[in-house]
Structure 1
C-alpha cells in the first residue's frame, strides 16, 4: 500500500486530533496528501497535529473545528476546505463515539447520542462533501467495525450504528457511481485507543476479545490507516461499496 497513488490529493479526515484519525492523517501525510483535519477538540489541539505533520512530511495541512452532529457546521467546513485548497478529493469519515453496557441498562440518551454521532454524522458529512467530491470524482472512506458485522455483547448502540454505516456505504456507492464517486468502509476489530481504554483494562474482557481474533492480537491504528490509504488511492479505483475488515480474522469465525 505504500505505493498508493494519492500524492497532492486533498483529503478531509474527521476525528483527526487523536487515535485512529491521527494515525490516518500520519499515513496520508507520508504519502504526500494535502490534509484538512477536522475535530471537535479545541482548535489549537487539532492545529498542533496539522502543524506537526506539515513540518515532518512537507505537506499542506490545515485544522478545522467541527461537530459532526451539526449539519450546517459540516457544510461550512467543506466549503472552507474547498476555498482553502481549491477542491476536495477524498473524505474519511472517522469521527465517532462508543458506549458500553447491556442494552436493557443503556439510557435512551446514550443510544441517541451514539447513533447521532456515528451514523448521522457520517451521513451529514457525506452529503455535505458530495458536491465537491462530484467535481473531482472523489472518494469516501467510512470507519465501520467488526461490531457492525457480528453481534458483540454490551455495545448495542455502537454496533447498530456501524452496521448501518456498512449498509449506507453500499447504498451511497450505488447511488453515486454515476458521478464517479467511490464509497467504501474499513471495519477493524479492537484498536487500542483512548475510547476503549476502560474496556481494555478489564482482563476478562481482553482475554475473551483476543480469543475471538484468530491472529490473536489487537489491530494497530497504523493497520487501519494503511487500509484507508489504499481505499482512498487510485490503486483501488475499481473498488466501491465494500467494507474491508481489518480484524485478524474475527469475522471469519
Structure 2
C-alpha cells in the first residue's frame, strides 16, 4: 500500500537527532522514527560496542558520540548532523541518569551530576540545536520527563527535581520559540524496563508498590514511550506545544 506524501505521522525527508539513543527508550525512539521514514542521527556517550542495534543497517542513519555535559560536544554534534544530512528538523532530549538514595545523605557530587546531565544537558542540547531548528520546516523538540517530575518519590530527589525542570523547560521554550516555528513538548513515562531501572525492578516489594499505583497495572514499555514521542514530534501534533503527555497508565490521575 502506498503511503500518502502528506501523511501527518510520517517523517520522510526529515532529520531527527535523538540523545541517549544507544539503548532503552532512546533506542526505541530512534527505531520508531526510522520506521516512519525519518533520517535518524543517534547520539550517546556510550562506546559503539554497547549500543543496541535499533536502527536499520545500510540506511542513511548516523551515530554520534555526545557528552551532554559539554556545550562544545552539543554544538559539535549538531554541526556534524547538519553536515551529514543538510538539516535538522527534530530533537529528542532523552539522555539522562539517576542516582538513588535518601536526600539527607545525597552528596553534592551526585546531586550536581544528575542535574547537570538531565536538566542542564537538556538546555545545552536545545540551545545548540536552536539555530538549525529555527531554519527548518515544522521543527519540534520533545524532552524526556517522568512521572517523578510530577509526584514526589522517595530516594530520588535529584532525579525528581531534574525531571520537573525539563518538563517546565518545555513550557518555557514552547512560549519563547513559538515565533520561530519550533514546537516543544515533553513526555512523562512511569517506570520502564530499561538498564536505568534494573536495580529497583529486582526489588519485589518496590515493584509491588509501584504497580499498585499504576491503574493499568503494568510498566510502560520503551515502545509505548516512543509512540508518544514520535506523535508529539510529528505534523499530526502541529497545534500541540508546551505540553507534557504522561505515558504512565494513569499514575498522575490520582
TM-score over 0.5 for the pair: yes
Which residue does the alignment assign to 1:120? 120
Q: Determine if contact 1:10/1:85 at 8 Å carries over to the other structure.
A: yes
Residue number among 31, 37, 47 corresponding to 1:42 in the alignment:
47
Which residue does the alignment assign to 1:54? 56
Which residue does the alignment assign to 1:91? 91
Gaps (5+ residues) in structure 1? none
Aligned-pair RMSD on alpha carbons? Answer: 1.4
Deviations 1:145-195 (A, max 9, x none): 000011111111000000011111100000000000000001000001011
Alignment of 1:155-174 (within 5 A): 155-174=156-175
Q: Determine if contact 1:29/1:59 at 8 Å carries over to the other structure.
A: no
Distance 2:31 2:48 in 1: 18
Runs of 4+ in 1 over 4 A off after TM superposition: none
Distance 1:36 1:97 in 2: 21
What's the CA shift for 1:45? 4.3
Which residue does the alignment assign to 2:20? 15
Distance 2:64 2:118 in 1: 19
Residue 133 in structure 1 maps to residue 133 in structure 2 = yes
Which residue does the alignment assign to 2:10? 5
Distance 1:144 1:59 in 2: 30
Distance 2:212 2:60 in 1: 42
Distance 2:40 2:49 in 1: 16
What's the CA shift for 1:44? 4.8
Distance 1:74 1:228 in 2: 21
How many matched pairs? 247
Q: Determine if contact 1:99/1:155 at 8 Å carries over to the other structure.
A: yes
Distance 2:221 2:71 in 1: 31
Q: Determine if contact 1:21/1:94 at 8 Å carries over to the other structure.
A: yes
Q: Determine if contact 2:143/2:187 at 8 Å carries over to the other structure.
A: yes
What's the CA shift for 1:247? 0.2
Deviations 1:66-87 (A, max 9, x none): 1000001100000010011001
Q: Determine if contact 2:10/2:37 at 8 Å carries over to the other structure.
A: no
Distance 1:158 1:9 in 2: 32
Which residue does the alignment assign to 1:222? 223
Gaps (5+ residues) in structure 2? 1-6
Deviations 1:42-92 (A, max 9, x none): 14545x73xx6233xx74110000100000110000001001100100000
Which residue does the alignment assign to 1:104? 104
Between 1:124-133 and 1:7-16, the stretch displaced more is 7-16
Distance 1:44 1:152 in 2: 34
Deviations 1:28-47 (A, max 9, x none): 1111110100000114545x
Distance 1:90 1:249 in 2: 28
